[in-house]
Amino acid sequence: MTRGTRTERHPGRALVAAVVTMLAVSLTGPAATAAPETAFSNGAATTLRCSMRTAAPVTFTPAVSAGPHTVTARGTVNLNECTSPNGRRKNIRSGTLTVRGSGRATCARVTGVRGSAIVTWYSGPGRTGRIVGRSAVSPAAAGVGGYTPLDSFLSGRITSGPMAGQRMTGRAVPTTSVSSCHGRGLRSVGLRGTATVS
């Protein structure tokens, strides 16, 4: 079965890839074509690795639908269980990513992505302890990619604050239904996955 056939049978999964791209948290380059088990395995190059989950469903204004139109996405993502494989950021244990992005979106893809994100880093788990710093993240101009339609990708680079100059990379899957997109439209979606800085 080809990837194109999978996307047609599961348009909602393609939508999640588009949605996450608008949010500008992470993934391009080699990770976009690598298998899931190898995409995040290079510990020597990885400064930080965290699990991520939306604090509340990401919202879309107006709703994402089958017809293309400009959509704004807003959301907050909690970064938990952060570890530093290369030992350079052992002082970071968690974070909060606040994002706002927009693009011309449909249920299958998004183009013309613009937006920004701020990550607040904490020294303790669950956003406790002292604030280590705040990083600004700008989205990459690249489109959506993925190993399968189940994968969701977004790309960005840290432009200021801790780890400035490094790339954030992430993969997410939906935690809420996206089946309404081709009908009444999709106004929100929950996500969970993994984020890395390298």
Q: What pLDDT score was predicted for residue 178?
A: 84
Distance CA 124, CA 122 (A): 6
- Dump pLDDT digits (tens) for 137-168: 887 654 443 322 223 335 678 999 999 999 88
pLDDT in tens, 65-111: 888 888 888 889 999 999 999 999 999 999 999 888 888 888 877 77
Q: How far apart are CA 43 and CA 75, in angstroms?
A: 29
Residue 95 DSSP class = E
Residue 187 makes CB contacts below 8 A (sequence gap 6+) with 59, 60, 63, 64
Side-chain half-sphere exposure of 24, counting CA atoms within 13 A? 28
What is d(CA 12, CA 148) in angstroms, rounded to the nearest whole number?
13
Q: Residue 16: beta bridge partners?
A: none
Confidence of residue 33 (pLDDT cuts 50, 70, 90): very low
Q: What share of the chain is helix, strand, coil (3-state, %, to 5)?
A: 15, 50, 40
